[in-house]
Amino acid sequence: MTKTQAITADEARKWVESRAWANGWDAVADETIDAVEFATQYAANKELWDKLFKFLAETDPSTLQPGKIVLEDGRLWLNILEYTPKSAEDTKIESHKNFIDLQYTYEGNEIMGLAHNVIPTGDYDPVKDKTNYRTDEAIDYVPADPKRFFLYFPADMHQPSVRSMENPGISHKIVGKIEYVK
């Protein structure tokens, strides 16, 4: 498949389930992931995705120290995070224009949210590649765990790192930033 080839939702879901992209990484793509966008972006930027998934397959995340790991300058990097998740009320909804977020919580008690019908709370910040939002509607949450990862594309207004309980403890997460092919 190339960037110009169209792929159906069924074909994309089968491709995701086939794990042809995984390069040995055992985490599964959460069902909330836009399978068509994933398949399309993978085909358009295969070398970056392969480099990312190979790194994740070959690296024990518990050995990583908080900070940034650059896999390809300006195009692909990982932020290794250690933090206490916040309440939904204290966690911003966000989207990105130029990079895809891979969110992988390998230790912690948190949930990931997808928001709909959002209202921007400020202008797009090109330095952080981020727009923040608010919504008056319910957000769809999914538990984050070490068996799955999440991908958020520019159309996904997401609320990551929300605590799943009153005292969640410390979370450890990898946030991959993958160049988005427009």
Q: What are 106-139's pLDDT values in tens digits?
A: 999 999 999 999 999 999 999 999 999 999 999 9
pTM across the whole model = 0.94
Give the residue from 107, 101, 100, 103 showing the smallest Cα distance to 164: 107
Domains of the chain: 9-179 (2.60.120.370)
Q: Is the pLDDT of residue 64 over 70?
A: yes
C-alpha span between 177 and 59 (Å, rounded)? 17
Q: Give the per-residue pLDDT at 156.
A: 98
Q: Give the per-residue pLDDT at 5.
A: 66
Could you tell me what percent of the chain has a pLDDT over 70?
97
Unique residue bearing structure tokens 């209202």: 119
Q: Give the per-residue pLDDT at 6.
A: 85
Q: Which residues pair with 145 in a beta bridge?
A: none
Unique residue bearing structure tokens 């957000």: 139
Q: How many helices (H) and strands (E) does the chain have?
A: 3, 12
Residue 3 or 160, more confident = 160
